[in-house]
Amino acid sequence: MSGPLAAQTLTTIQSWNGSTGYAFGRPYVNAKGVVYGVLSDGVNGPNGTIYSLTKPKSGTTWKPVTISTFTGGATGGYPLGGLIADLKGNLYGTSFGGGNTSGVCGVVNGSIVGCGTVFELVKPKTGTTWTRKVLYSFTGGKDGIGPVGDLVFDAAGALYGVTEWGGCTPTLTYPNGCGTVFKLSVKKAKWTETVLHDFQGGANDGAYPSAPVAVDASGNVFGGTLYGGLSNCNATSGDPDGACGTAFELAKSGSTYSESVLYKFADGADGSLAGGGVVIDANGNLFGTTLQGGNTTVSCQQFGHSGCGTVFELSPPTGGGTAWTKTAVHTFTGTDGAYPEILLKDAAGNLFGTASQNSGGGGGCAFYCGAVFALKYSAGVWTESTLHSFVNGSDNAGPQFGMTADSAGTLYGVSLYNVTSTAFMLTGSGF
C-alpha cells in the first residue's frame, strides 16, 4: 500500500521492564492484526519468550500472551531474530544459542548454551501454547554458529538465513569464525541444511553477516556484512579486522551458489558497517543501510567509526559490464536519525526504517533517542522524512531491528533503551 504522507501517530501497544527479557528482532503481524515478537534475556542468559499482542475490541489495552518459552538446552535459547510465518500461520525464527549443547558455542556468563537453532512454532488448534519444533541445530563448525536476523522464504518453501559466526577456520582476527549464509530445504517434513557460503573475511570477502538476506525470483541471494573488505576503518574490539563491510551476491546455478562481492565500503562519505541487509526492487536494484559513515562532520562517533549512517542503492551492471553502481540515497546527519538498520519497502518502492539514535527529538537519553524515517522517490529524487522522533517518554527510545506492516499500512516495531522495551505501531506513514 502507498499513499500521501499524512499526520503520523505512534502508539506504544506494550511495554516491558526487563524482568521478562528485552525486545529483539523485527515483529510479525498477521492478517488479523495480531502482533508476534521476541523477548530475550540477551547476555544475561539463554532464557526468552515468544509473545503475541491482540488488539482490543474496545479500549486501548492490547492483550499480551506468552506463546512459547526458551530456557536453553536442546530446544533452543537466547532468541534474537525476528519472526516470519507460512501460509498456515505457523511462525519461524532462530535462537542464537541452545540446540547442540555439546559444542563450545554461545558462551553466556561462563555457561555453554549451544550453537543455535532454527525453529518452527506450530499454531494450536485450541489454547494459547504453540508447539515449538527444532528444524535444525547448528553444530559449531562449518555449518555456522549463532543464527541472527530474520529468516526468508523462497517460492518453494525453503528458508534462508545467516549465522554471525562459524564457517571459516577461526583465527586471531576472527576467533569464532566469519559467518555463513545457509538454506534449509524441506522434503517429507524433514529439513536439511546447506551452507551456501562461508565467509572468509579479509580484503576479498565479507565477515559477520547480521541481517536478513534477500532472494530474487531466480533464487539468487543478496546481503551485507558488517566487516571484511577495505581496511579503511579503525580496528576495535567491535571491529576485529579494521574493515568496513561488504555487499554480496550468491548467484544460483542449478543447486550450487557462487559468491561475488558486489561492493566494498570505504568508510567516510561512502559508509561503513553494512549490517542492515538489503531489499530488492522490481528492477533488481538493491537498497540497504550502513550503520555509520556518510556525514562525518557531525558527532555520531561509535563502534570505532565516524558518521551517522547511510541508505544506499546498488544498481546491476549495464552494457555488458560486471560492476554494480553504488548511489547514496540518504546520508543521516544526527538530527534526522543515526545508525539506520533493516529497511522495509512498500509496493511503490518507498523505503521505511528505524534509526536507533537521533539528536532531533530531545528527551532524557544518554546519547540520542532514535527515529522512524521514510524515503520517498519522485522525479528522480529521494526525499527523507522523519515520521517520529522518540523522546524517551511514553514512546521510550532506541527503535531497532526495522519494522513490518499490516494490510492497512500501519507500521509495527520495537524499541529498546536501558531496561525498558516496547512494541509500537505507527499510523499515517504513507506506506
Residue 239 lies in a domain: no
The verdict on residue 400 lying in a domain is no
What residues form DSSP beta bridges with 267? none
Kindly give the confidence (pLDDT) of every residue in the chain, 431 residues in length, as a single tens digit, with 9 standing for 90 and above: 444 456 799 999 999 998 889 999 999 999 999 999 999 986 667 889 999 999 998 888 999 999 999 988 899 998 999 999 999 999 999 999 889 877 667 655 555 578 999 999 999 988 888 999 999 999 988 999 999 999 999 999 999 999 999 999 999 899 889 999 999 999 999 999 999 999 999 999 999 999 999 999 999 999 999 999 998 776 555 677 888 999 999 999 999 999 999 999 998 899 999 989 999 999 999 999 999 888 877 767 665 667 889 999 999 998 888 899 999 999 998 888 889 999 999 999 999 999 988 655 555 676 678 999 999 999 889 999 999 999 899 999 999 999 999 999 999 999 999 889 999 999 999 99
Q: Which residues of 371-392 are buried (b: 16+ CB within 10 A; e: fewer)?
A: bbbbbbeeeeebebebbbbbbb
Instruction: Indicate the number of domains in the chain.
Output: 1
Flag whether 346 is in a domain: no
HSE at residue 44, side-chain half, CA atoms within 13 A, is: 11
Contacts of residue 396, defined as CB under 8 A and 6 or more positions apart, other chains included, come to 12, 15, 390, 415, 417, 420, 421, 422, 424
Alpha-carbon span 199 to 201, nearest angstrom: 6
90 lies in a domain? yes
Q: Are 292 and 340 in contact (CB under 8 A)?
A: no
Residues paired with residue 24 on neighbouring β-strands, in sequence order = 38
- Measure the CA–CA gap between 299 and 430, rounded to whole angstroms: 31
d(C-alpha 147, C-alpha 36), whole Å: 19
Q: Are 196 and 220 in contact (CB under 8 A)?
A: no
178: left (phi over 0), alpha (psi -120 to 50) or beta: alpha
Please indicate, yes or no, if residue 418 is contained in any of the structural domains: no
Answer yes or no: is 103 within a domain. yes
Residue 106 within a domain: yes
Cβ(194)–Cβ(185) below 8 Å? yes
Domain membership flag for residue 183: yes
- DSSP per position, 245-293: -EEEEEEEETTEEEEEEEEE--SGGG-B--TT-EEE-TTS-EEEEESB-
Domain that holds residue 127: 7-195
Report pTM: 0.94
Q: What are the angstrom distances between the C-alpha of 111 and each of 47, 151, 279?
A: 13, 27, 37
